[in-house]
Amino acid sequence: MRNVPRYRATFAKKSAQSGFIQAALLFGIALMTAVLGGFALANRSPTSQTDVEQAKVNASVILKQASDLRDGVARYSSDFGSSAVTTAMTFESVGNNGLFNASARYASPQIMPTSTFDISIGATVDDIKAPAALVAGHWYLNRTTAGNGLAGAGEDPMVVLPGLRADVCGRVNTLLYGANTIPVGTGALSAWTTNVDGGISAVAGVAGWPEGCIQTSDSRYVYFKTVQEN
């Protein structure tokens, strides 16, 4: 019988031990990866908890900014009269009719977090706009949309925040009315941002709403707040 030298036997033994240890380590790493992956999948939902909390925060900020703008319109109205709100007021920062007039300071342009918006619409939806006739910051002025069941049959000047995420839109309505139902208007997104009637006066779901979030005819989401009921 042939004898194997001791150093060779020892080397073979160590090699076998080393191979076993490496295999065990690799198996452990693979097992840990699988467990962590499964845990992540088990705790993942179409809308994560972080998204839910972010939508709540964004909805609250929307309502606060809209109230600030409405208060600014009230100050403007006290100087120029209620008719001027419908016929003359702009979102400019210069001129007597500008809501954001730097001297009068009726209100300030409002800016929302980027996470408020559905960026799939296009890069411009969350751009910050310089004060102009109909837009400043992220907000638009619409003076030709008639509300549904408000003070009278006239047009009701509104401040508008377009291009919202659907979950943020639903959260706004939940805060206001207790349900995340989103009524559908007859006007497109462009109507709300170009001072054209947004088409909610005959929509039953917004009857009596001075503010709320709706879906447009082209499946976008818009928040509106009436700043003067006519």
* pLDDT tens-digit series, residues 126-145: 899 999 999 999 999 999 99
Global pTM?
0.78
Greatest mean pLDDT range, 6-15, 20-29, 78-87: 78-87
Instruction: Look up tokens 């419908």; give the residue.
Output: 86
Q: Which of 42-67 are b and which e, b meaning 16 or more Cβ less than 10 Å from the residue's Cβ?
A: eeeeeeeeeeeebbbebbebbeebbe
Structure token pair of residue 185: 């208007």
Q: How many CB atoms are located within 10 Å of the residue 168 CB? A: 27
| CB contact at 8 A, 172 and 63 | yes
pLDDT at 124: 73
Distance (Å) of CA 208 to CA 87, 173, 214: 24, 13, 14
Confidence bin at 30 (pLDDT 50/70/90): low
Q: Is the dihedral of CA 66, 72, 77, 83 positive or negative?
A: negative
- H-state helical runs in the chain: 6-42, 49-80, 82-87, 166-177, 189-193
Structure token pair of residue 117: 């918006």
| CB contact at 8 A, 116 and 62 | yes
What percent of the chain shows pLDDT beyond 90? 65
What confidence tens digit (pLDDT) does each residue in 143-166 have?
999 888 786 677 889 999 999 999
pLDDT at 45 over 90: no
For strand 158-162 and strand 211-215, is the pairing parallel, antiparallel, or unpaired?
unpaired
The one-letter amino acid at 216: T
How far apart CA 80 and CA 170 sit, in angstroms, is: 36
pLDDT at 151: 67
Chain CA centroid to CA 109, Å = 17
Mean pLDDT of the chain: 84
Over the Cα atoms of the chain, what is R_g?
29
pLDDT at 44: 43
pLDDT at 7 over 50: no
Residue partners of 164: CB distance under 8 A and separation at least 6: 62, 116, 117, 118, 172, 213, 221, 222, 223
